[in-house]
Structure 1
Amino acid sequence: MNWPVLKKSTAILGLSALSVVISSQVNAGEITVYSALEEDEIASYLEVAKQELPDVKINVLRLSTGDLGARLIAEADNPQADVVWGFAVTNILNPQISDLLEPYAVAGGAELPESYRAPDDRWFAATGYMGALCVNTERLAEKGLPMPTSWEDLLNPAFKGEIVMPDPSSSGTGYLQVAAILQGLGEEKGWQLIEDLDKNMAQYTSSGSRPCRMAQVGEYTVGASLSFVAMKSIEQGYPLKMVLPSDWAGFELEASGLMAGSDNKEDAKKFLDWTLSSSATDLYSQYKSIITVPGVPASPLAEQAGLPSDLSQVLFPMDFAKSGNERNAILDKWKSTVGR
């Protein structure tokens, strides 16, 4: 995808449907933040940041994971962002992107377990998300379908046209689901499962949350999506059951970092520090099923949805470096194998 190369003077507000400006002070500092977080959570976080960073004007450009990575690479010679916030660590590990980041020892970062931060401080991950199947129980019963518990179960011909999932080319959620299957089964068997699953797939979406939202209203029976969207849907009263696949339940970390080409590194650092402050981390349980910051309680929605307290019991141990290194090759094969 060819993104237009912008000058720093370009109004970032015109680039995004969600661009939140904090502070109207004429002399305020200003930073541009690129993020793959969901729009509703960005708005919630920044509402609090408004009170704690009153001298910083924050412009947010929200893009899907795949589009954000493409934009960063396209702008490599003329960076527009000061901060990358909540971006899939699999993508950040791509040297074309990680080389654009400057090491910064964020305040509070030392408290994160080593597996949730870069050894050279180029990135840190305070949150993460996991894949889940959103199953509409009413439609399941109407269609006389068995409750799926795994990816293998979805190969049942009875599910033909009843499943939707995110396209891994544009969605980080879609990519983590495909990567987990390939890492769990190996190349040959993994791609065979993906090809067989495609026979039952109604469509692929560009958004990781959309499949669950489609399932929650009964448009389809199964939406391969995000666990937190499933938990929120259950809380809201939709006839939905969240299923973590017993085979290859993938997950992803959401990483943040300082852009080396930033024109305002001091304010960018203030913002990054804020993302690990107690004010920020207290909000994470409202939106996240994976929180890496020690001492932050899990979401109350997790218990309601049946999510175990020890996620290591259900999550496939993802090799993020492998996911990052093989991403382009996997997406190329996806396009030639599934490609629709």
Structure 2
Amino acid sequence: MKFSFPCFITLTVVLGFMLPAKSLAGTSEPVIVYAVTDGIARELAHAFSKKAGVRVEIINTGGSGQTLRKIEAEAYMPLGDVWFGGSLGAHAQGSYQGLIQAYRPRDFEQLTAKFSDPLGDNRVTGIYTGILGFVIRTDLLAEKKLPIPTGWQDLLKEEYRGLIHMKSPLTSGTAYTTLLTLISLMGEDQAFSYLAKLHKNIRQYTTYRGAVTITFIHEAVGHKQQQIVIPAEGTGYEIGGLSLIKNGPTPDGAKAFIDYVISLEGQLIAAQSQENFQFSSHSQVPPRKEIARYQTSRLQEIDFQWAGRHRERLVQRWQREIQGLQVTHPAQ
């Protein structure tokens, strides 16, 4: 599978975002947004508030798993309105648990079909995609006179012991995407066998970046002494979710904010953000030049509906079979 993203275009006119027929200006209650990618969310919230006259409060809720747990804890009295960003697996689990509400945003048909409605029935809207890969600190590997790994099997080599970092699937959508990618490549049991072997080389399951970090490649764009590697065997990808939290306190404002986020105006703001090197799902927003060459990467098909239904089971299996393994790493 290869990505098929829109080609570069010249925009001569940006159509203004259309407010709902019933104006929301002057609404006293703010729209509460739980944001995994809060920098981009804040830029969009500022532009939306200026245009619509609606206050938006952005709350950084950490990773996708942490955000899901927060929404679960508030299920009987929801405090948030919108779940912004983070990998689709947690959004999908939230959908199957009845925590989020289907909503078809205005201008939905302008989104790329493959990524816009990954669960069907408009349960979650896909607003961006990101490719999984290895981020290499070339200076650290050079110090140890080690070659740059080119594929998943290379990461199992003894020479990389204690040099590899990845996040924990318990809290991170990035790590859950890694798990899904390996399952797609190898099958579930073989993927867990691989992870048990990889565990010996993992320094930490944290956000810290080491000599080799398994993460989304857009996180490394523009950083010196870092090289991006797409695994030779193939890799996976995320779809960033945008969800309407069920029974949130400000549903009309939440829907209007979602409409704005996926509008051409909103997606152009997101695409130009200093924090954003992901691929927009909007058909008229081209990838930034820094990542355009990766749009032809060899990607594994991922069944996101299956991923949502089985997320809790797979995360618990990882916790049971992988997290507790004892390993002693050499001093760095």
Task: Report the TM-score, using the length of structure 2 for normalisation.
Answer: 0.82
SS of the residue aligned with 2:203? strand
Residues 73 and 248 of structure 1: CA distance in aligned 2, closer, same or farther (over 3 Å): farther
| Structure-1 separation of matches of 2:298 and 2:98 | 33
| Structure-1 separation of matches of 2:26 and 2:49 | 15
Taking only aligned residues, the RMSD between alpha carbons, in angstroms, comes to 2.1
- Say if 1:72 and 1:97, in contact at 8 Å, map to a contact too: no
SS of the residue aligned with 1:44? helix
Residues 280-322 of structure 1: per-residue CA shift (max 9 Å, x gap): 211333413222110201012115xxx3333xx4222111112
Residues 172-222 of structure 1: per-residue CA shift (max 9 Å, x gap): 0011011110221012221111111110111111xxxx34xx3xxxxx311
> Number of residues paired by the alignment?
294
User: Is the counterpart of residue 147 in structure 1 residue 145 in structure 2?
Assistant: no
User: Is the counterpart of residue 198 in structure 1 residue 187 in structure 2?
Assistant: no
- Say if 2:167 and 2:205, in contact at 8 Å, map to a contact too: yes
- For 2:263, the equivalent position in structure 1 comes to 277
Q: Using CA pairs below 8 Å that are at least 6 residues apart, which structure has the higher relative contact order?
A: 2
Of residues 258, 262, 268 in structure 1, which corresponds to 2:248?
A: 262
SS of the residue aligned with 2:127? strand
| Structure-1 separation of matches of 2:81 and 2:57 | 10
- Say if 2:152 and 2:233, in contact at 8 Å, map to a contact too: yes
User: Is the counterpart of residue 48 in structure 1 residue 47 in structure 2?
Assistant: yes
Task: Report the TM-score, using the length of structure 1 for normalisation.
Answer: 0.80
Which 5+ residue runs of structure 1 have no aligned equivalent? 1-24, 215-219
Of residues 312, 319, 332 in structure 2, which corresponds to 1:328?
A: 312
User: Where do 4+ consecutive residues of structure 1 move more than 6 Å?
Assistant: none
SS of the residue aligned with 1:66? helix
Residue 75 of structure 1: how far off its partner (Å): 1.3
Residue 81 of structure 1: how far off its partner (Å): 1.2
- Say if 2:162 and 2:202, in contact at 8 Å, map to a contact too: yes
SS of the residue aligned with 1:92? helix
Of residues 58, 61, 68 in structure 1, which corresponds to 2:59?
A: 61
Residues 263 and 138 of structure 1: CA distance in aligned 2, closer, same or farther (over 3 Å): closer
| Structure-2 separation of matches of 1:50 and 1:232 | 30
Alignment of 1:151-190 (within 5 A): 151-190=152-191
SS of the residue aligned with 2:291? helix
| Structure-2 separation of matches of 1:314 and 1:98 | 32
Residues 281 and 201 of structure 1: CA distance in aligned 2, closer, same or farther (over 3 Å): same
Percent of aligned positions that are identical: 22
Q: Which residue identity lines up with residue 143 of structure 1 in the other structure?
A: K
| Structure-1 separation of matches of 2:281 and 2:26 | 37
